Amino acid sequence: MLYLQNNLSKVIFMMPAFEQLGLLLLFMSIGYFFGKSGLIDRSHAKVLSVAGVYLFLPCTIFNSFSKSFTPANLTQYYPLLLGSGVILLVLYVFAHLVSGLFVREGYQRKVFLYSLIVPNYGYMGYAMAEGLFGSDGLLELILFSLPISLYTYTAGFAMLTKRPVSLKKLLNPVNVAVLLGILVGLFGIRMPSLASLFLTKSAGCMAPVSMLLAGLTISEFDFKALIADKKSYAMCALRLLVIPLAIFFALRTVTDNQTLLRTALLFYAMPCGMNTIVFPKLVDEDCSTGASLALLSNVLSMLTIPLCLSLL
């Protein structure tokens, strides 16, 4: 009886995870249908990318930083920030070494490199953290993600859009949103109600638009070719199992901070990020690798995320 109760508790605990995964896959499927049926001209996919990168994404970033980057949070949750920063440095070196085993050079290697470092924490991780652990879990994941966010929207953005990292190039809507969000958070600046409502509504559009774009982009390619790419399966194994489990067990040997352990495992158990589709579309770069990784990792994560979270 106790065994059944424990298993039932685990199933109930994981329901928000399955619901969030299912919701995102539904948006991706709708985008795929739109593209295959011709209801949306695939050449117009760049419109979604521009709207995402230059409007919805900056609003999402600003919202996260302005609400979380406060002196009180930084003081209380510094282990999350410190741990995330150290993991990012180690993972950065690991990704540079491993990505070369897949592709030695070219744009495809940049996609693999980015996918190893950055999971889908923004579109999926935030919602899952709140569903599983409530508002405290969401706050913890947002704070943990700050170092990765800085990397994503500076070096990562420059890499996938083929723009050199320079002071001039850093002046884009994404990085401006990071800077303004940090300043608003640190100084406790209150936003007008209309501005707050606009930011919240715009941020809420980011995940659906990104997944619709992913599905629309996937529809451009031969489905069988996308699911037959052996490199993508190997990358998904690293992204979904090897990296999160290695981080979890490595952290457990040096700390007993349960908040850090739980947050790091949840963060890195997420599938490949959608930016390997969103960002390349801005520069008309080949999205086949990003599309394959998005499709496979999101489907496979239905199995791997519950497996990883069962360790908690």
Give me the DSSP letters along 184-210: HHHHTPPPPHHHHHHHHHHHHTHHHHH
Q: In 164-283, which residue ranges form alpha helices assigned H by DSSP?
A: 173-187, 193-204, 206-218, 223-227, 230-237, 243-254, 258-268, 275-282
CA 106 to chain centre: 23
Torsion of the alpha carbons at 223, 226, 227 and 230, rounded to the nearest 10: 160
- Class of the domain covering 19-309: mainly alpha
H or E element: which one contains 108? helix 107-117
What global pTM score does this model have? 0.79
- Domain layout of the chain by residue ranges: 19-309
pLDDT reading at 9 higher than 70: no
Please name the residues in contact with 190: beta carbons below 8 A apart, sequence gap of 6 or more.
none
Contact 301, 271 (CB under 8 A): yes
Bigger pLDDT: 182 vs 123: 182
Q: What is the pLDDT of residue 257?
A: 93
Q: What is the pLDDT of residue 17?
A: 65
pLDDT reading at 166 higher than 70: no
Q: What is the pLDDT of residue 170?
A: 60
Q: Per mean pLDDT, which of 152-161, 168-177, 235-244 is the most reliable? A: 235-244
Bigger pLDDT: 131 vs 264: 264
